[in-house]
Amino acid sequence: MPLTLDTYRLLGRSGLRVSPLALGTATFGTEWGWGAEREEARKLFDRYTELGGNFFDTASTYTNGSSERLLGEFTRTNRDGLVLATKYSTLRQPGDPNSGGTHRKSMLASVEASLRQLNTDYIDLLYLNVWDFRTPVEEILRGLDDLVRQGKVLYVAISSAPAWQVSRMQTIADLRGWSPLVALEIEYSLIERTGERDLIPMAREMGLGVVPFSPLGGGLLTGKYSREDLNPTGPVAGETASSRKSLNAALGMVTERTLAIADAVKEVASELGRTPAQVALAWTLHSPGVTAPIIGARTIAQLEDNLGALQVDLTPSQLARLDEVSAIDLGIPHGLLASDHIRTVTSGDMKIETRR
Helix or strand holding residue 88 (H, E) = strand 83-88
Question: CB–CB of 168/137 below 8 Å?
Answer: yes
- DSSP track, 153-198: EEEEEEES--HHHHHHHHHHHHHHTPPPEEEEEEE-BTTB-GGGTT
User: How many C-beta atoms surround the C-beta of residue 97 within 10 A?
Assistant: 9
The burial class, CB within 10 Å (0-12 / 13-18 / 19+), for 38 is middle
What are 202-205's contacts with CB under 8 Å, separation 24+? 202/163, 202/166, 202/167, 203/12, 203/166, 203/289, 204/288, 204/289, 204/356, 205/167, 205/356
Q: Which of 48, 62, 122, 127 is catalytic?
A: 62
Which of 72, 57, 79 has its CA nearest to residue 157? 57
Active site residue 8: no
Give per-residue burial for 175-199: e unless 16+ CB within 10 Å, then b. eeebbbbbbbbbbbbbbbbebbbbb
The burial class, CB within 10 Å (0-12 / 13-18 / 19+), for 272 is middle
Residues paired with residue 128 on neighbouring β-strands, in sequence order: 88, 158
What span, in angstroms and rounded, lies between the C-alpha atoms of 53 and 55? 6
HSE-up (13 A, CA, CB side) for residue 101: 15
Residues with a known catalytic role? 62
